[in-house]
Structure 1
Amino acid sequence: MHKINTSILYSGQEKILLAVDCIIFGFDSHKLKLLLFKRKVEPLKGEWSLIGSFVNNQQTLQDAAKEILYKSTGLSNVYLDELKTYSKLDRDPGERVISVAYFSLIRINEFDIENVEKYDAHWFDFDNIPNLILDHNEMVKDAISKLRSKAIYQPIGFELLPEKFTIPQLQILYECVYQQKLDDRNFRKKILSFDILTKTTEKDKSGSKKGAFLYMFDNEKYKEFVAKGNNFEL
């Protein structure tokens, strides 16, 4: 097979830097958080940034995102969804850089919280995020919007809760995602109407003497629910 001389074929073409940025949301049973670190290179060195860096020629975007996340925070085995490509001409004052953003929502207590601090990374409450470099604030805004859209069609909340949970605990999670208070009675009525939860005989009495019944997510009922064309819009 004749080998093509790509150096000639692509001669005269401009080279553009490619980066990946990871928007990692975390839930700690009470609040939604965002993982950030201080940028380690100029320009804007020392400013708060999403977890990101450049992609090398031997990596796929997905592999680069996972490697950068691990090297910058110590987090591994994090499932990443591709969000969007950001390519404004002036988005980076240092050079022409195109960035592909990825996002994830994880249960913080499944990971070593203190470990990320060793990497100079830090969890910020979602309602107390500092101003971020470049267009990273826009990325966060787009990611939370995508997360909310995803929550309508997928039961994203259940993987962030214990195997057995109360309706109020589930409500807290959805309030964190939507960043608004939901009516207690309407939420309970709506979520139970989906018929994807199994009520146990156990109670969580940490909040009151009376306690609240614990529920479990039923994956088979969920599949039937979705197969009928239903969604989780609250």
Structure 2
Amino acid sequence: MTVFRKLKELGYLTSYSHRGKYYTLTDIPHFDELGLWSCRSAWFSISGNLLETTCQFVDEAEAGFTAAELQRLLHVGVKEPLLKLYRQKRIDRKEVDGVYVYLSREKGRKRNQRLTREGRLVAVEIGHSPLREELSQELNAVIILFFSLLDEKQRRLYAGLESHKLGHGGDRKVAEVLELDVHTVARGRHELFASDVERERVRRKGGGRKRVEKKRPK
């Protein structure tokens, strides 16, 4: 009986690194949260070989992957499998700032990945705000949806932060986009940068409707 026939009977996995040079029995690996496991320098994946592992990672990525980002996760070069998957039309790609970002082929998933990637790029630009006019209407809609999930205090502080990013005239611009009173935006900005924030309350003490006490009949 050959070694491979015996391995097949027992069940085995092939490494996705080293061009599949290494093997392990299926009951040995303890895969991490990414579905990866390593033994010395050999890497194994619950998805199988490098091509299938690359495809799964791109499909499930929150914001897609550049080749460099995915290489850091998988610990092996991925340019070749990414290009092969793209040519096979199993994944898609979009050029962002001169670098290809690889995305899922599924339309809804790809759209979410693209929006998340775009949002991250905006967030890291110094002095840049997601509320600036040059951003797509689609991303502004996502920002407004996120804003609607916040409570009163969080909305005020978030609006104040975005106003600060915009600089002069920021209170008015943010108020228009988020449909707030300009004084509410200014108040949030002042509270945030003066560290005048009460963590335990949504409203200031004494704010809101007055409590109505029931009167007992005399």
TM-score, normalised relative to structure 1: 0.27
Q: TM-score, normalised by structure 2?
A: 0.28
Task: Choose between structure 1 and 2: higher strand proportion.
Answer: 1
Which of structures 1 and 2 has the bigger CA Rg? 2
Q: Answer 1 or 2: higher relative contact order, Cα 8 Å, separation at least 6.
A: 1
